[in-house]
Amino acid sequence: MELPEVAVEELKENPFIVAQQQCDDCADIRNVDPGVREIIREPMQETHVSIPVRMDDGSIRVFKGFRVIHSTALGPAKGGIRFHPDETADTVRALAAWMTWKCSLLELPLGGGKGGVICNPKEMSAGELERLSRGYVDRVWQVIGPDKDIPAPDVYTNPQIMAWMMDQYSKIAGKNQFGVITGKPLRIGGSSGRHDATARGGLYVLREAARNCRLNLRGATLAIQGFGNAGSYVASLARELFGCCVVAVSDSRGAVYNSIGLDPQLLGEHKRVTGSVVDYPGTERISQAELLELDVDVLCPCSLENVITAGNASKIRAGIVAEFANGPTTPEADSILYDKGVHLLPDFLCNAGGVTVSYFEMVQNMNMFYWEEKEIHARLDKKMTAAYDSVLDISREYKVNMRRAAYIVAVRRVAEAMQLRGWV
């Protein structure tokens, strides 16, 4: 099936069309069964809800929310919940699809789901966020569950929000249901190692990529676009684990640069006090665009979608691009980077550490037995390394970029499950 003709600008603004295009590219290379292709291009199920919340001033606001299941061919759906003012149904659809491929690539017995609420958490009190979190569960509880669809934290959600959601679901079910949500606080069924899992898992992949590219990570320069949860852990762990030198970071207010390196811990403290990395002492303020185009060894997009496009891909000077964010690179940019010789680590490989440790959390909840953090790290390392190796092998075999290779691996596994189940 051909993708409808869409202007480049529209592709940039619609991540779901990007996700479909990426999937179609893989299907063309692998000659995927037409029935499989038809099914995997669209979500299996969507739930759109309106959530009334009493605000602190006594007024009622109605928030729009979503929960999308893309596929359950390999197992129950799994995916985070975003609270974001720019959330859209198409963004959630794309993220649910990417979760399908992420779980498949890591050989997790899970499918892809995603949720979101259109709101600005930065403008809400803790009480308002709790009422919104519980209200969301009140609206979607029938479509989620430990053996149906298991949410987790994502952009602007956190363990406390997951705790409220789990508690609300447990009240509706009439019993404790710790397994309905992952990313919970440790005291109520959370897993050790979950807080930095996305960053740590991606850095294990980066380690393998550096070996393949013959790059010594000790002293290697990193630019990090997005200094939120993932980006801040990438910065601190890259320095701690491998001795990398973080020379630039950004957040929603701007970017800062220092050629001799930044101290991630002090930078994080500066952001906690001031609300931004901007004006961190001893740095030069640069634009987001300039950060992406810096002459560094590794560029780490850690924020939102579509930051590397056909318009700036030719200006990227990093040898490795590690996508800790979901969908930061458009299909046109992929081709440009590949032709330039950039070794790109695609999002649903690079940032799969979060869902992998979430899966570990599910296993621990089911068994009511919890692993030590050292064991979590070892299991995560093994999973991420195996996934990178499988993608690299396919990239070389088919002479395609790493994203297409990752899709080939992931789609093949989902297609096989669908055929074994008699769906096609």
CB contact set of 20 (below 8 Å; sequence gap of 6+) = 3, 41, 97
Q: List Cα–Cα distances, 216 to 75, 210, 212, 295, 300, in angstroms.
A: 39, 7, 10, 16, 17
CA neighbor of 418 nearest in space, from 71, 5, 59: 71
In single-letter form, the type of residue at position 42 comes to E
CA angle 163, 167, 170 (to 5 degrees): 140
**Residue 212 tokens, joined:** 């393949």
The CB density around residue 320, as the number of other CB atoms within 10 Å, is 22
CA distance 199 to 373: 15
Burial track 80-94 (b if 16+ CB lie within 10 A, e otherwise): bbbbbeebbbbbbbb
State the residue for tokens 């930061």.
Answer: 328
Residue 114 falls in the annotated catalytic set = yes
CA neighbor of 244 nearest in space, from 257, 234, 256: 234
Chain-centroid distance of CA 173 in Å reads 29
The CB density around residue 288, as the number of other CB atoms within 10 Å, is 16
Residue 420, classified by CB atoms within 10 Å of its CB into exposed (0-12), middle (13-18) or buried (19+), is exposed
Catalytic residue among 102, 114, 271, 383: 114
Kindly list the catalytic residues.
114
